[in-house]
Structure 1
Amino acid sequence: MALLGLGVALAIFQDVADDQNEADGQTSDWKILKALRARGDPANPIGPKWVKESLTETSALGGVTVLAGITAVTAGGLAISGKRREALLTVGVFTGALVLSEGLKNLFKRSRPPAEYRAAEAVNESFPSGHALLSAATFISLGILFAQGARSTALRTFGLTVGAATAAAVGFSRIFLGVHWTNDVLGGWAAGSAWAATCWLAGRRRR
């Protein structure tokens, strides 16, 4: 199933990477961005004020500082409990995801949505979304880690679902805030998931 997931993630990334340079993909990106804005006011996202505030806080979960802290705490706990292999793998997933994100951004060099549509600050290139990529790699990895220690199918499913749902929420927040196109987030989710699956498959094979 992990290999199947890896294949699907890579296929999705290739598809959205092609779409972000094509007219159809750009048209759909614009439609979604405008649908999430109040009519006549591109700087104002739809919905009550608390929705924007909530999604701004959710977006922070995909930031480098937050994810680096989560990774450090998790790896430290694993190392103290004698699970050094898992600790190193956890650090490797995050570090590799960070390098992958920057490398892909420099490769594609896609511009972000216009400044008047952004409800938050953003820097560097747009594709793929770094928040989506890093959160997918990190939270899915934590879900896999939890599932490995779970004693029942229900708990394993719970761990993986929470990890995936957290990454999904972070990605949606980036689209809602207007700092990324939809294809940026889809590409980030796909690349991050593929990287997490690759690392944990490699770790399992070595073990």
Structure 2
Amino acid sequence: MAAGTGSPRGGEGTGSRVARSDGTMTHAPSVGARRLPPLLAGLALIAVGLVILLVGAFATSRYPFAFDRAIIVGARAWGGPAWLPKVASDITALGGGVVLTVIVVIVAGFLLIQRLWLTAAATALASLTGGWVVDAVKGVVLRARPDLVPHLVDAGGYSFPSGHATSSAVVYLTLASLAGQVTPDRAARRYLLVVAVLLVGAIGCSRVYLGVHWPSDVLAGWSFGTLWALGWWTATARARAAIGGER
């Protein structure tokens, strides 16, 4: 199969040409694959800063910070509309282990059908290993869950970092960023990443509102998940470049 240089799309660069099953040539969906999305880059910088601050704070104390107590008590005192607890419970479920596992399996299966082997493997491995790291950190920090307000949903185990915030960031940001590597349309890539960020943000906020996590638990989860997604984005882009394509 001969390789050639494709024409730029949207001024973003060129892609290699590959053969279809009918013998015609088309462009591989790798446009913009090596360029870090600005939104993800910005989130990564924020995440690094938060990690540094939280690590420094935990070096002196594992107890909740003053802003943790103020936010969680203030959120419960505010209460909000009558429907908010139910909506928050539904949103928080989107960051649960069962839902995230189902999503990863469905997406990875679809990618395998499309013969996007590298993206499928990265999707599964990023989610699996991210969960292991979170469990390990919880076992080291051993921070208790909030007890200032009644919990509006059941939650067990240790509090730091928030498993829902971390896992949702790992899964949704990884899916959005990896999908962007095989999606040539710039608007589609931005849409996927913005939706992922909003979803991850809503899930993390719901954990605080429901009273089952300190805000710093959620901040740590967001930070770790963002950096994890960035790491897998980088590794996958480099692997794809090294092997000359997705398949």
Distance 2:107 2:43 in 1: 24
Q: Which runs of 5+ in 2 are unaligned?
A: 1-35, 241-247
Any conservation in 2 of the 1:19–1:25 contact (CA below 8 Å)? no
Using the TM superposition, give the Cα deviation of residue 5 of structure 1 relative to its aligned residue in structure 2, in angstroms.
4.8
Identity %: 31
Using the TM superposition, give the Cα deviation of residue 7 of structure 1 relative to its aligned residue in structure 2, in angstroms.
4.9
Using the TM superposition, give the Cα deviation of residue 151 of structure 1 relative to its aligned residue in structure 2, in angstroms.
3.3
Match of 1:12 in 2: 50
Quick one: which amino acid aligns to residue 29 of structure 1? D
Using the TM superposition, give the Cα deviation of residue 156 of structure 1 relative to its aligned residue in structure 2, in angstroms.
1.7
Distance 1:53 1:5 in 2: 29
Match of 1:41 in 2: none
Any conservation in 1 of the 2:181–2:237 contact (CA below 8 Å)? no
From the superposition, tell whether residues 16 and 193 of structure 1 become closer, same or farther in structure 2 (CA, over 3 Å): same
Distance 1:179 1:4 in 2: 28
1:197 aligns with 2:230: yes
1:148 aligns with 2:185: no
User: Counterpart of 1:37 in 2: which secondary structure?
Assistant: helix
Range 134-143 or range 107-116, more displaced: 107-116
Any conservation in 2 of the 1:19–1:183 contact (CA below 8 Å)? no
* Post-superposition CA distance 1:22-75 (Å, at most 9, x none): 59961110000110113xxxxxx7012211100100000000110000000000
Structure 1 counterpart of 2:72, from 30, 33, 41: 33
1:82-161 map, 5 Å: 82-114=115-147, 116-161=149-194
Match of 2:208 in 1: 175
Match of 1:64 in 2: 97
Any conservation in 1 of the 2:100–2:171 contact (CA below 8 Å)? yes
User: Counterpart of 2:108 in 1: which secondary structure?
Assistant: helix
Bigger RCO of structures 1 and 2 (CA < 8 A, at least 6 apart): 1
Greater share of helix: 1
From the superposition, tell whether residues 53 and 3 of structure 1 become closer, same or farther in structure 2 (CA, over 3 Å): closer
User: Counterpart of 1:36 in 2: which secondary structure?
Assistant: helix
Distance 1:150 1:25 in 2: 42
TM-score, normalised to structure 2, is 0.75
Between the two proteins, the alignment pairs up a number of residues equal to 201
Using the TM superposition, give the Cα deviation of residue 153 of structure 1 relative to its aligned residue in structure 2, in angstroms.
2.6
Where has structure 1 moved over 6 Å in runs of 4 or more? none
Range 150-159 or range 12-21, more displaced: 12-21
Distance 1:4 1:29 in 2: 24
Quick one: which amino acid aligns to residue 66 of structure 2? T
Using the TM superposition, give the Cα deviation of residue 10 of structure 1 relative to its aligned residue in structure 2, in angstroms.
2.9
Distance 2:117 2:185 in 1: 24
Q: What is the aligned-residue RMSD (CA, Å)? A: 2.1
